[in-house]
Amino acid sequence: MSDAAGAGNSGSPLTQDRFATELRGFGPLGTFAVLVIAAGQIVAPLSAVLVLMWTRLSRTPWREIGYVRPKSWIGSIVVGITFGIALKFLMKAIVMPLLGADPINQAYHYLAGNLATLPAAVWTMIVVAGFGEETVFRGYMFERLGKLLGVSLFARIVIVLVTTALFGSLHYFEQGLAGAQQATLTGLTFGTIFAITGRIWMLMCAHAAFDLTAVAMIYWNLESRVAHLIFK
């Protein structure tokens, strides 16, 4: 009888298992968790921290949000940084000019030569963008949508497209059409890679490197020069 009473205690393994199961599901508790994490986007990178809390409390394997130990940390960092820088130059010099974008990112032009704002910008690009956005838009959203839609090729394509659309649209409010276009294309790239590999660390490095390269271009007033490297 004492065993039965113990199983009903709030801190018992049975209760904890039930809580974790409900948190992983899409009932009232699971839906509430999704809404709380979405609301956390207001104070970045709160959403990403909430995702990590959800992962632990729901007993979701870390690999399901892409937190898989890479074969080589140095290799992942180097590949990520190199890829992120190359992707930013590709977007700035070729893709965005073809889309008719303004060479100057007006939303962030205040960073040009502004040393005082540089530390906050670097923090934002690494922590909020690299860690935060990848954890939420690739790790968490892929896990949640994967549970709903499955793991078929069609499901993966839908997940990539849905997460890309959300990622791109959120950038519209701050950076306008050009920002949304760029975010959509980068989100599509990062999402496709994540759908194939299921690994997030390289993408975090690539995302941070992409945004830090953008900050460097703005700070040193190189945006127009890079944007006209190919198309004069």
**Residue 178: C-alpha distances to residues 16, 95, 158, 200, 223 (Å):** 47, 11, 24, 26, 14
The closest of 131, 143, 156 to 206, measured between CA atoms, is 131
Residue 12 pLDDT class (50, 70, 90 cuts): confident
Cβ atoms 55, 157 nearer than 8 A: no
Query: Which pair of structure tokens corresponds to residue 162?
Result: 């849905």
Cα separation, 98 vs 57, in Å, equals: 46
- On average, the pLDDT of the chain sits at 93
Residue 1's pLDDT is what? Answer: 39
CA dihedral over 125, 128, 129, 130, signed as positive or negative: positive
Q: Answer yes or no: is pLDDT of 91 > 90.
A: yes
**Residue ranges per domain, the chain?**
66-227
Long-range contacts of 32-35 (CB under 8 A, 24+ apart): 33/58, 34/144
The stretch 191-201 carries a mean pLDDT of 97
For 168-185, the pLDDT digits (tens) are 999 999 899 999 999 999
- In sequence order, the 6+-apart residues with CB closer than 8 A to the CB of 89 are 213, 226
Query: Which pair of structure tokens corresponds to residue 69?
Result: 């130990």
Residue 4's pLDDT is what? Answer: 43
Residue 44's pLDDT is what? Answer: 76
Residue 11's pLDDT is what? Answer: 59
For 116-170, the pLDDT digits (tens) are 999 999 999 999 999 999 999 999 999 999 999 999 999 999 999 999 999 999 9
CA dihedral over 124, 130, 132, 138, signed as positive or negative: positive
Query: Which pair of structure tokens corresponds to residue 172?
Result: 């519209």
pTM for this entry: 0.91
The stretch 81-90 carries a mean pLDDT of 98
Cβ atoms 224, 103 nearer than 8 A: yes
More confident call, 42 vs 124: 124
Give the CA angle between residues 97, 160, 154 to the nearest 5°. 130
Q: Answer yes or no: is pLDDT of 2 > 70.
A: no
Q: Which amino acid is located at 187 in the chain?
A: G
Residue 154's pLDDT is what? Answer: 97
Cβ atoms 217, 223 nearer than 8 A: yes
For 28-37, the pLDDT digits (tens) are 999 999 999 9
Residue 31's pLDDT is what? Answer: 95
